[in-house]
Every structure is written in C-alpha cells, then in structure tokens.
Amino acid sequence: MSQDTEHMESTRLLQDLQSGNRRMLARGISWVENQVPGYRELLRALPADRLTAVPVIGFTGPPGAGKSTLVDRIIGEMVSKGHKIAVLCVDPSSPFHYGALLGDRVRMSNWFNHPSVYIRSLASRGSLGGLHARIIEITDLLKAAGFDYILVETVGVGQSEVEIAGLADTTVVVLVPEAGDEIQTMKAGLMEIADVFVVNKGDRPGADLFVRNLRRILSPDHNNGERAAEVFLTTATSGGGIDSLAATLLLSRSRDHKRKSWLLAERAYQLIVSRRMEQVSRAGLRQKISEALAAHDFNLYRFIENY
Amino acid sequence: MSQDTEHMESTRLLQDLQSGNRRMLARGISWVENQVPGYRELLRALPADRLTAVPVIGFTGPPGAGKSTLVDRIIGEMVSKGHKIAVLCVDPSSPFHYGALLGDRVRMSNWFNHPSVYIRSLASRGSLGGLHARIIEITDLLKAAGFDYILVETVGVGQSEVEIAGLADTTVVVLVPEAGDEIQTMKAGLMEIADVFVVNKGDRPGADLFVRNLRRILSPDHNNGERAAEVFLTTATSGGGIDSLAATLLLSRSRDHKRKSWLLAERAYQLIVSRRMEQVSRAGLRQKISEALAAHDFNLYRFIENY
C-alpha cells in the first residue's frame, strides 16, 4: 500500500467509523492491534475533543464478584436513558480473543445485536501489566466512534488494577459481602484507585454491615478530610440498587487528570522510545561510520552526539 | 560532582593518560566501566586521529591452542622493535576481573611491570556477545594512551569471534595441528573472519600437512581470486616461527572499514538509543499530558509526534 493509498484508506475508515459503521470500527481496532500500515495516521486523525470528553468507566474486582452481571445491568440503565455504550471485556486468562465470551460474558450476550451497544472482548496477552497492550488506542477509537460511555471490565489481578485506574475516569471496584472479613488486609491499592465501591450480591448475609464498615473507613474523617469513594449496595441478578449506581456513573467526567496522565505518560514513553529507535537506521549508521573510518576521523562518542 | 568539576577532572585525566600515567589509565578504564560522571566527556575528548590510526590485533581460537603463550612471544618481538603494547585478555568464563590471570595468563606475567607493556584482563559479563560490553571504549582509551598496538586475546566461543573481527584490524585465528581433522567442519565464520591463521604447536605430528591444506583451501583459486588469509606455522613455547608472524602483524593497518563499521554501528545504535531514552522524561511527559487533558485537547498520537 502506498503512502497515498494509506492516507485515503485511513481517512475513509475514520469517516465510516465516526458515522457509526460497526464493521469499519472492527476494522479500525484490527488495524491498531495488528499495526496495519495507516494505523498511525488513523490514530493521529482522531478528534482530540472527543478523546478528552468521553468518560471511561472501569470495573474491577475479584473473580466471582458478579462484575459481568453488574455491567449487563448498567448497560440496560444507560441504554434506557438514550446513551450509546461500548464495552471492553479484558480477560487476563484468555489466550484468544472472544474466548472469554463463552464463559461469564454470556450474560451480556443479549446486548450483542443492540444498535446502541458494542461489546468486544480482549485478551491481555502482550501487555506488561494486566490490560491489553493497545487498550488506550482501542478506547480512543471507541470514543471517536460516537459512543457516550466506554465501560471496561477486567478481573482484578496483577497490574490491571493500577492500569484500570489510569485508563478510567471512574473506577468501580466490585466486591461481595464475604470480602468484609478481609477488608483490613485488602490490597492497599484497591482503596486508593476506587472512585466507587460496589458491594454486590447484597442479598447475602453481612452485606449491610460491610457497607457500613466500608463507609466508615472511607469517610473524610479517616482520609484527612478528602473526598473518599462512594459505596453502593447492589444485587445485580435482580437489579436491586442498580438505578442509583447507574445515575452516579452517568455523571462520570474526566476529572482526575493527574491520575490519568500516569498511564498515558507510560504509553507515550513506550511509543516515543520505539519511534525514536525506528528512526535510527543501522545500515545508515554503518555507512556513515565506514566513511568516517576511511577518512581517518572517527570518534564514536562525538559521532553519536551529532547523530 | 558539578559539571565544571567533571570537566576539569576529565580534561586532567585525559592529559595524564596521554602522558603515559598508568594509574590514570586504570582510572579512565574504571570510569568507563562504572560510568562515573565525566566518562562521556573523557571519551568525546579522545583524539579521532589516534582512534583511527592505532591497529587492534585480535587473537582467537579454541582453548588450549596456546594463544597466551603466542601473545607473550608477540609482545616480546614488538617490544624489542621499540613499540609500546597494550594487551586485553577477554575471558568469557571468568566472573571476576583479573580472575583469569591466575590461570593461563600467568605466562604473560613477566610483562606486567615492563614500562612498554600494559596488560588488563576483562570478564565478558554484561556483553550481549562474547566480548566485554565496553571493550570498544577501553581500546579507544588505550589508543589515546599512546600505545602503538592493541592486542586483544579471547577464547573463540559464542559471538566473540564475530565481535573480534569487528573490533580488530587484523584477526588472528590460532589453531593446533589436530584441528586439521576438523578443517572441513570448522565453523564457517572462522574462515571468513581470519586475516591470519596460525598453526601453533608446530612440533606436533601433522603440522606441516595441516599448513599445506589450509594454504590450498585459502588460495585465491578457492576464493574467487580474492586475497585470502595468510597461514603461519609457529611453536610458541620455543619461539619458532614467531619472528615472521610478528613482522606481518607489525604491518597491520586499519584496512577493512566495512567489516569494522559493523561492530561500531551496533555500538553506536545501542548508545544512541539509550541516550534518546534518557532524554525522554517520564515526569515531564506526565506534566504535559496532565495540562493537555485539563485543556480538553489531547491526542496521544499527535502528542508523541511533536515531542
């Protein structure tokens, strides 16, 4: 593909993707994942205002906390308010894309053909942490594609919790009442990344007590007067408590630039370094060095400085 | 240490090193090995004309071929002609510097206090190939320090043979008569890197036959008419054949810029990439990204391009 063809292709792809063409959105994601020539031009052309305006809501928590059912309910609430929703399911254990859909995520399957909902599963392979290596790029494509909210669901293992907090504007940590016994020993990071705690499976014994304890721990008195995370009690299977949780999530805004800039800076660093490495041509170096040697004027350390 | 102090220190060190001060030469090598602040300035200040003019002669070959004894004899011949000689012994198996001296290299020990000879042992740890990670920098320091020839001895294992050919102006491959049986199966690379073949331990049976066979294989008829390696028969223990070998090595010049530029280009690539990575400040990126996010104008892919 020539430069011109690449340019035409990526311009066309962006237009189609922005007009809501799902097939073209899937192609755009595939371009980014496989670094198809033209993918950089596509990413550069994404409108900055949408990239900074569309909120990403991250859901994390231990396996079995009912995250998929909860997200399924949240989609329902958001769609009923007229919003268009994109959902990324990041499965750290699945070696193949879509593999996870046969498991828990089958609960979301009634949304697969809904015109206001786009669901995509991603394997976390290739990422240094817990999330997909190109998840930032993929959320950016979804933002450009006209969705009002991007939901990202991930199992809380490894680095994924820290990364989700960097990716999301609002981070939801989903727990079950039984976690109350471990609240004191809970990973410290979990308390820091959560904007919202959800105690799901609220019909189980001890749910109310857990919520009270969490709220006490998270009160400004315990947090040097700072705003701490909100706590919600839900029963996703029956839909209990979902409406007020969804109402809060709909208010999500890009609010914590400092936290968000951490993950973006890490990704920017990776991209800048790899771009600068590409710019250095080994063959070019060799040619120049060979010429300098022939001219009997070569100091390696001055050479690299002027390169 | 401030910039100014570093500058003064490195200027002083270079002067002392060029005037033949051995203690300062050892300090310079230690600066480079340990990346002591000021080491880059020292390297940049090395005179390019000497770096390109002083020949490096590499000795490689299997363990037990008598390389150390041979090098010891070559030192003797060169010193008797009034030359100043630096010797680097690269030992891929020794985890500690100088450790190797207690072994084979004890044969060179009578040169340790000679005013015209400088011997240093290097471990190959930290190198991707077989040679020491900073051997180029160290040979450059030795060139600046006024030596007329740099001899580098290494056991021929792993990548070291390819690297020695990149480092050396003349590459000497040392073999024993018994290798004649394997000459057909000899590592192909060995035939290509050798400028000089030495069949050492020439008093053993089959030595003459091996030399004849080698010369036939290396004749221009077998090599598309190109100049092939010279072959010498030596008995290093008694000194037999050393004078004519030494006479040839004394004629070494920086003659093969193309081959030499390969290793220098690899090292330049490493240095350029690491320097460019140092120039990217994660904290600076984060600050700029945070500001752009607050201004609701941030496209990661345009951002990295303008960085």
What CATH number is attached to the domain comprising A216?
3.40.50.300
Nearest to A6 by CA among A43, A39, A51: A39
Residue A164: name the closest of A198, A203, A210, A124 by CA.
Answer: A124
**B242 band by pLDDT with thresholds 50, 70 and 90:** very high
Residue B277 has a pLDDT of: 83
For a pLDDT cut of 90, what percent of chain B falls above it? 50
The residue segments making up the domain with residue A283 are 265-305
Average pLDDT of B207-227? 81
Q: What six digits make up the tokens of A174?
A: 């989903």
The C-alpha of A263 sits at a distance from chain B's nearest C-alpha, in angstroms, of 9
**Res. A102 pLDDT band, cuts 50 70 90:** very low
Residue B232 has pLDDT above 70, yes or no: yes
DSSP E strands in chain A: the ranges are: 56-60, 85-91, 117-123, 149-154, 170-175, 196-199, 230-233
B86/B117 Cα distance (integer angstroms): 6
Q: Is B69 part of any domain?
A: yes
Tens-place pLDDT, residues A150-172: 999 987 665 667 788 889 999 99
Exposure b/e, A281-305, CB count within 10 A at least 16 = b: eeeebbebbbebbeeeebbbbebbe
Q: What are phi and psi of B91, to 5 degrees?
A: -115, 105
Q: How far apart are CA A208 and CA A240, in angstroms?
A: 14
User: Is a pLDDT exceeding 50 seen at residue A94?
Assistant: no
Structure tokens belonging to residue B269: 């690539």
Residue of B nearest to A302 (CA): B44
pLDDT band for B90, please (50, 70, 90 cuts): confident
Residue B47 confidence class, pLDDT cut points 50, 70, 90? very high
Interface of B with A in 117-156 (CB under 8 A): 136-137, 140
At A294 the pLDDT is 87
Query: Is the minimum CB–CB distance between B259 and chain A shorter than 8 Å?
Result: no
B113/B220 same-domain check: yes
B41 within domain boundaries: yes
pLDDT at A256: 65
Which residue, of A233, A255, A277, is where some domain finishes?
A: A255
Task: Name the percent of chain A lying above pLDDT 90.
Answer: 50
Average predicted confidence (pLDDT) for chain A: 84
- Residue B211 forms part of a structural domain: yes
Verify that A232 and A285 share a domain, yes or no. Answer: no
Residues A130 and A209 in one domain: yes
**In 3D, which of A150, A198, A155 has the Cα closest to residue A173?**
A198
A20 in any annotated domain = yes
Q: Does residue A280 contact residue B269 with C-beta atoms inside 8 Å?
A: yes
Residues A7 and A74 in one domain: no
Work out the number of other CB atoms within 10 angstroms of the CB of residue B205: 9
* Of the partner residues B267, B286, B296, the one whose CB lies closest to the CB of residue A49: B296
Say yes or no: A12 and A130 in one domain: no
Q: Looking at residue A184, what is its pLDDT?
A: 61
Asked whether the beta carbons of B254 and A293 are under 8 A apart, the reply is yes
A299 in contact with chain B, both atoms CB, cutoff 8 A: yes
Using a CB–CB cutoff of 8 Å, tell me whether B281 touches chain A. Answer: no
> How many domains, chain B?
3
The residue among B276, B302, B307 with the most chain A CBs within 10 A of its CB, best to mutate, is B276
What's residue A100's pLDDT?
A: 44
Please indicate, yes or no, whether residues B87 and B146 belong to a single structural domain of this protein.
Answer: yes
**Contact (CB<8Å) A300/B257:** no
Contact yes or no for A130/A157 (Cβ under 8 A): yes
**pLDDT band at B96, cuts 50/70/90?**
very low
Q: Looking at the partner chain, which of B49, B265, B272 has a beta carbon nearest the beta carbon of A286? A: B265
- Whether residue A46 lies within 8 A of chain B, CB to CB, comes out as yes
Say if strands A230-233 and A196-199 run parallel, antiparallel, or are unpaired: parallel
Q: CB-based contact (8 Å) between B35 and chain A? A: no
What is the band of B183 on the pLDDT scale with cuts at 50, 70, 90?
low
Q: Do A141 and A290 share a structural domain?
A: no
Q: What percent of chain B has pLDDT over 70?
A: 83
- B141/B59 same-domain check: yes
Query: Mind telling me how many Å the CA of B251 is from chain A's nearest CA?
Result: 17
Chain B closest-CA separation from residue A229 CA (Å):
22
DSSP A146: T
Within this chain, do residues B71 and B200 fall inside the same structural domain, yes or no? Answer: yes
| Closest-approach residue (CA) in chain B for A271 | B304
For B54-81, what is the mean pLDDT?
Answer: 93
Count CB neighbours of B221 within 10 A.
Answer: 10
Check whether residue A73 and residue A7 sit in a common domain: no
Least confident interval from A49-63, A66-80, B87-101, B217-231: B87-101
Report which residue type is found at B202.
G
- Comparing alpha-carbon positions, the chain A residue that sits nearest to B296 is A52
Tell whether A293 and A213 lie within a shared domain: no
Q: Which of A161, A74, A80, A82 is nearest to A119 (CA)?
A: A74
Provide the pLDDT for residue A189.
67
What pLDDT score was predicted for residue B184?
Answer: 61
Q: What is the pLDDT of residue A121?
A: 85
Asked whether the predicted pLDDT for residue B58 surpasses 70, the reply is: yes
Q: What is the pLDDT of residue A111?
A: 85
- Quick one: pLDDT at residue A130? 57
Q: Are residues B70 and B105 in the same domain?
A: yes
**Residues of B whose CB is below 8 A from A166:** none
Assigned domain for A102 exists = yes
Residues listed for chain B: 307
Burial call B151-171: b when 16+ CB within 10 Å, e when fewer = bbbbbbebebbbbbbbbbbbb
Q: Which residue has the higher pLDDT, B74 or A101?
A: B74
pLDDT category at B151 given cuts 50, 70, 90 is: very high
B224 within a domain of the structure (yes/no): yes
Give SS3 for A30. Answer: helix
pLDDT tier at A98 (50, 70, 90 boundaries)? very low
Q: What single DSSP character describes residue B172?
A: E
Among A286, A303, A306, the residue to mutate for chain B (most B Cβ within 10 A): A286
Determine the pLDDT at residue A183: 64
Nearest chain A Cα distance for residue B199, angstroms: 31
Nearest CB to B307: which of A272, A290, A293? Answer: A272
With CA atoms as reference, the chain A residue closest to B41 would be: A301
Q: Mean pLDDT across chain B, nearest whole number? A: 84
- Our CA-based measurement puts residue A52 at a distance from the nearest CA of chain B, in whole angstroms, of 5
Helix residue ranges, H only, A19-134: 22-34, 39-44, 48-53, 67-80
A280 contacts chain B (CB < 8 A): yes
User: Quick one: which of B152, B150, B151 has its CA closest to B54?
Assistant: B150
Span B252-288, pLDDT tens digits: 886 667 778 888 998 899 898 888 888 888 889 999 9
Residue A241 has what pLDDT?
96
Chain B partners within 8 Å of A273 (Cβ): 273, 276-277, 280
A276 touches chain B (CB under 8 A): yes
Q: How far apart are CA A44 and CA B299, in angstroms?
A: 7
CA distance A119 to chain B (A): 24
Is residue A260 in a domain? no
Binning pLDDT at 50, 70 and 90, where does residue A181 land? low
Give B201's pLDDT tier (boundaries 50, 70, 90).
very high
pLDDT in tens, A237-289: 999 999 999 999 999 876 667 778 888 998 899 898 888 888 888 889 999 99
**Partner B contacted by A304 (CB < 8 A):** yes
B166 closest CA partner among B255, B91, B262, B66 = B262
Sheet holding B230-233, edge to edge: B117-123, B85-91, B149-154, B56-60, B170-175, B196-199, B230-233
pLDDT tens digits, one per residue of B109-129: 678 889 999 999 887 654 445
pLDDT computed for residue A72 by the predictor: 94
What pLDDT was estimated at residue B217?
83
- Quick check: is B260 in a domain? no
